[in-house]
Amino acid sequence: QEYLDFRKERSGMLLSRRNQLLLEFSFWNEPQPRQGPNIYELRTYKLKPGTMIEWGNNWARAIKYRQENQEAVGGFFSQIGELYVVHHLWAYRDLQSREETRNAAWRKRGWDENVYYTVPLIRTMESRIMIPLKISPLQ
């Protein structure tokens, strides 16, 4: 009953809702439980239609530049819902380590080339910082 009451209350607060069915990129590791504390960054890219294969091919090479600190959690693309949407999930100890890790990628030979080839494929991008709930296996 408590859950039903919550759903009724929640429905009065919702203005809209979207769903997506996602698949993971084959070159990205499957998300694994992590010790914390961590923060997570969810980066969402909306691509130009017809560019998903090119995006995937570039990121299959680029992901090696972002594995050093094991920050790469998961990479997914939409199958149902809004299409040509990619989500990358990254783990960091805090915002400072996020900045340091991202800056370190730019110092690696080849990272800039991968960025150069993927940026023209993007229509919009968004970054969200998330803090896991205590029940989450991703701490």
Look up tokens 């790469």; give the residue. Answer: 72
**pLDDT on residue 84:** 97
Instruction: Return the closest-CA partner of residue 44 out of 129, 105, 124, 119.
Output: 124
**pLDDT on residue 23:** 94
Cβ(124)–Cβ(82) under 8 Å? Answer: no
- State the fold for domain 20-130: Alpha-Beta Plaits (3.30.70)
Confidence of residue 121 (pLDDT cuts 50, 70, 90): very high
**pLDDT on residue 86:** 98
**pLDDT on residue 58:** 94
Structure tokens at 83: 């299409």
Cβ(46)–Cβ(111) under 8 Å? Answer: no
- Tell me what the mean pLDDT of segment 116-135 comes to: 95
pLDDT in tens, 3-38: 888 888 888 888 888 899 999 999 987 888 888 899
Length of the chain, please? 139
β-pair partners for 75: 88
pLDDT in tens, 32-78: 888 889 999 999 999 999 999 999 999 999 998 888 778 999 999 99
Confidence of residue 100 (pLDDT cuts 50, 70, 90): very high
